[in-house]
Amino acid sequence: MSRYSYSKWHSHAHKRSWIFILGALLVSTLVYISNSHAETTIIKAYTADYTANYNGMDIDLHHQLEILPSGKYKETSIANSVFGKIAETAVFGIDSQGNIVPEKYSYKRSILGVSNHEQQFFNWNDKQLTYKKNKKSFDVLLIADTLDMMTHKLQLRRDLAAGRTQLSYSVMARKKAKTYDYEIIGKEILTTSLGPLNTTKLRRVVKTGKKRETTVWLADDWDYLIVKLSHQDDGESHQLKISQGHINGKSIVPLSKPIGDKL
């Protein structure tokens, strides 16, 4: 091989090696991006128990999210008191983009012998929501990307995990679409019955003049699970505090140093 031929071959080989290296870097970057996207779209199963107080009445509350054999998800909330029971259930799927797709929402209430049952059925193909209350049924237009009362709170947690600060959701409340907006107040190390936890403190934004205020604390290190909620509405008050919780079967444990404000 001549000196010129060797030089030309070496130059091509050098270029091929750089192309190979750049290709490998590109693939690894795409894999990293893909994995990062997967991490933000994964929904983890959880269970959580809370003690609550509504206008002086003690309530036990249980939340859980499970993965069904079909691959769909089911989130449940059950509140019990000496006066009755309230149960909420949401069944939903995840589309190819990682978005929550509600399928069914149910609200059942039985207080002092008086019962009420409301259901929402999401028909995305026909862009129609069927709302049923006891024996009455209504069909209304279903707006794209609309969530239900339970799944919008789950999406809020996912958005916080993804680092988003614009927290606005279209929510089907009974048979109407409403906008639920939240603002981040800041970070706080909160002492709970489990011990101190890193939390993000939020406030639901309401129209000026409304005598309603909802403040929520979510655990940063535990999939942004709600650990405390305080709600006041025209003289009525509601408090919610976590007593135990598990994320993907792992028990929530406190920070090593007991720092923060007591509940």
Structural domain boundaries in the chain:
1-41, 44-80+89-94+146-262
Q: Against a cut of 0.85, is the pTM above it?
A: no
Contact 234, 213 (CB under 8 A): no
Give the residues across from 201 on adjacent strands: 186, 217
Give the residues across from 52 on adjacent strands: 59, 240
The pLDDT assigned to 234 comes to: 78
In this structure, whether the domain defined by 44-80+89-94+146-262 belongs to CATH 1.10.10 is answered with no
The predicted-structure confidence for 210-258, as pLDDT tens digits, reads as follows: 778 999 999 999 999 999 999 988 778 889 999 999 999 999 999 986 5
Over residues 62-82, mean pLDDT: 96
CA distance 91 to 19: 48
Residues 6+ away with beta carbon under 8 Å from 198 = 187, 189, 219, 220, 221, 255
The predicted-structure confidence for 111-167, as pLDDT tens digits, reads as follows: 888 999 999 999 999 999 999 999 899 999 999 999 999 999 999 999 999 999 999
Burial 121-149 (b: 16+ CB within 10 A, else e): bbeeeeeebbbeeeeeeeeeebeeebbbb
The pLDDT assigned to 40 comes to: 44
The pLDDT assigned to 38 comes to: 37
The predicted-structure confidence for 169-200, as pLDDT tens digits, reads as follows: 999 999 999 999 999 999 999 999 999 999 99
